[in-house]
Amino acid sequence: MSSPLVLLVSRSASRTQLYREALDARGISCLAISELKEVALLASGTPLSGILLDMPVLIKASPGDKTATEDILKALPSAYLNIAPATDSIKLLTANDTQGIAKSVDEFAELCKGFTPRMVRPKDRYPLHLQALLMTTAQDSPERTVTLNVSPKGCFLFSANPEWQLEQQVSIQFIDLADTAPVIATICWLRHWGTGKHHVPGIGVNFTTISESQQAQIIRLLEPLQPH
Q: Are 23 and 109 in contact (CB under 8 A)?
A: yes
The pLDDT-based confidence of 194 (bands split at 50, 70, 90) is confident
The dotted CATH code for 131-225 is: 2.40.10.220
Lowest average pLDDT, out of 8-12, 118-122, 163-167, goes to: 118-122
- pTM here is 0.61
Residue 228 in this model has a pLDDT that exceeds 50: no
The residues of the chain that CATH labels 2.40.10.220 are 131-225
Q: For the chain, what is the HEC assignment?
A: CCCCEEEEECCCHHHHHHHHHHHHCCCCEEEEECCHHHHHHHHHHCCECEEEEEHHHHHHCCHHHHHHHHHHHHHCCEEEEEECCCCCCEEEEEEEHHHCCCCCHHHHHHHHHCCCCECCCCCCCECCCCEEEEECCCCCCCEEEEEEEEECCEEEEECCCCCCCCCCEEEEEECCCCCCCCEEEEEEEEECCCCCCCCCCEEEEEEEECCHHHHHHHHHHHHHHCCC
Which of these ranges, 67-71, 199-203, 219-223, has the smallest mean pLDDT? 67-71
Contact 79, 54 (CB under 8 A): no
Residues of the chain with CATH 3.40.50.2300: 5-113
Helix 105-113 / helix 13-24 crossing angle, nearest 10 deg: 60
pLDDT, one tens digit per residue, over 107-123 is 999 999 999 999 887 66
Report the chain's mean pLDDT, rounded to a whole number.
89
Give tens-digit pLDDT for 78-114: 999 999 988 889 999 999 888 999 999 999 999 999 9
Homologous superfamily (CATH) for 5-113: Response regulator (3.40.50.2300)
- pLDDT of residue 150 exceeding 80, the answer is yes
Q: Kindly report, residue by residue over 171-193, the tens digit of the pLDDT.
A: 999 999 999 999 999 998 888 88
Q: Which of 14-28, 47-61, 111-125 has the lowest mean pLDDT?
A: 111-125
Give the pLDDT of residue 227. Answer: 57
What lies within 8 Å, CB to CB, of 59 at 6+ separation is: none
